[in-house]
Amino acid sequence: MLKLISTLSIGVLILLASIFLFLGILDATKVNISMLIGTIIWFIVTPLWMKEE
Amino acid sequence: MSENHEGELTLERNDGGEFERTPVPSSKLKGWKSFLGMYAGEHAAGTEFMIGPLFLAAGASLKDLLIGLFIGNVLAILTWRFIVAPIAVSKKLTLYYQLEKIAGKHLVKVYNVVNGVLFCFLAGAMITVSASAVGIPFDINFTVPKGIFGLSTPSFSMIVIIVGVVMTIVAAAGYNTVSKFANIAAPWMIVVFAACGISALTQMEVTSWGSLLTEWDNGVNVVQSVSGKVDFGFWKIVIFSWLCNAAMHFGMADLSIMRFAKDSRAGWGPSIGMFLGHYMAWICASFMLAAQIKLTGDISANPGALAWSAVGWTGIICVIVAGWTTANPTIYRAGLAFQSLFPLKAKSYSGVILAGLVATAAGIFPALSAKLLDFVGLYGTILGPMGGVIFVNHYLAKKMNFTQNYADEKGSSFNMAVLLAWVIPVALGLYFIFGEQQLFAAYAVIPCWIASSLLYVIIMKFQKS
């Protein structure tokens, strides 16, 4: 579950958001906020499962 | 560039890590696929934010960059596979122990200190990179002066000093925490690099391959109208991307990593990491500069400003983290190398503090980080030739009837043959790089490597006779 959250945080909130920006679906401000949220989630969640492994 | 590997080597050497002076036992060997994962995050570091934009700033064409980087990375991977991996698997020893058997322990110390000095300059460039991002929220930009030892603005120099001091203190406190944090950050950094590239394409309003080429060429034209025409052609890109990690492959530093391999296929290990860091990340970073030129006309390759413009705060965090996670272990391992210069009674962190001070001093001069393309070539030119000595010692000593592992066999602590075989080609290489010829540093790596190999064979044969 934690791994999934980490993957989604960078896969969706950062990478997919930038693709949406390229496609004109989202504007730059929303994408930048999405990326920042993705970054925060990644650094909160990833140490929990990476530490276990 | 790959940084963490060398740190592991130095840590092992100084801290008596696992199997430092014995071959790795069979029970500890790993399959080649383990090396794919281990190397994956290794080549996406703070240096990538500097190196990528420098290609555009140097006037490289996009087609040359895409094809040249591809070929250069393939050549680098082949070098790991066919030069490093067979020796690593056969001997299963660290670079330092293997070198000690050939060169003697005192000469290895000299090599280690030279390595440490070069690390300091690399760490200095990373301090500059991090400071460029720290300055953005305070509206402090760094300008690159023309002279190598020219200073940026006083406020930027102050940020460099603060960042350098913090990094030095953290490095002196220990390596493990930063190392763990770097592992956590690596996948995120790779994704942010990709996002920066995609965002830059959006800023350039790219809709097709043709429009991308047009925007790129416009960027190059703007740079060259300001800085003058510079030649950074296809072969220069190939050679640079092949040899920017020459110290790791031709220089055999990665023996210490690949000695844990079950077989030589571990040499394919850097494949994914190289194409993520030295292909995708460099190209994305170069797009950021092209986008900046289109939006503002500013041609300065300021990593903090570029990332801020592309993805906002995430970019700022990424540049700081990338610079920090690269600089910190680099300062730490340079410190370990310097520690041998201090008396035994000295505090264990004395070397790290000295390394941090040198790195911070180097970071104050932004022109040094702007010369990163030349620096990494220089790094390979100076350290690579030792790998040539190891290569001929492994393959040719018995065939050509000279003593294999000379220092170990003869009980020598300083093998003069290795010193001469190392110093003479490197001195010539440096003459061509810094002399009137102004040779591009990466061009000197292979000639120096070959010359060192040949010279070592000749001196050893002469000594034998």
**pLDDT tens for residues B233-251?**
899 999 999 999 898 899 9
CB B109 within 8 A of CB B340: yes
A14 in contact with B, Cβ within 8 Å: yes
The encoded tokens of residue B205 equal: 């309003």
* pLDDT over threshold 90, residue A28: yes
Residues forming beta bridges with residue B261, ordered by sequence position: B30
pLDDT for residue B6 = 40
pLDDT band (50, 70, 90) for residue A53: low
Q: How far is CA B116 from the centre of its chain?
A: 13
Q: Measure B152 CA to nearest chain A CA, in Å.
A: 30
Looking at this protein, which amino acid is placed at residue B332? Y
Facing B184 at nearest CB: one of A14, A18, A47: A47
What is the value of pTM for the model shown?
0.87
Facing B314 at nearest CB: one of A19, A22, A32: A32
Angle ∠(A46,A48,A50) on CA atoms, nearest 5: 65
pLDDT for residue B290 = 94
- Cα(B373)–Cα(B322) distance, integer angstroms: 18
pLDDT for residue B13 = 40
Residues forming beta bridges with residue B30, ordered by sequence position: B261
The size of the A-B interface in CB pairs under 8 A is: 60
- The fraction of chain A above a pLDDT of 90, given in percent, is 83
- Cα(B397)–Cα(B366) distance, integer angstroms: 45
Residues of B within an 8 Å Cβ radius of A: 183-185, 187-188, 191-192, 194-195, 198-199, 201-202, 311-314, 317
Contacts of A10 in chain B (CB under 8 A): 187-188, 191
Looking at this protein, which amino acid is placed at residue B289? L
pLDDT for residue B1 = 57
Contacts of A11 in chain B (CB under 8 A): 191
Tell me if A36 and B187 make a contact (CB, 8 A cut-off). no
The encoded tokens of residue B90 equal: 């056969």
pLDDT for residue B460 = 93
Q: Which parts of chain B sit beneath pLDDT 50?
A: 3-17
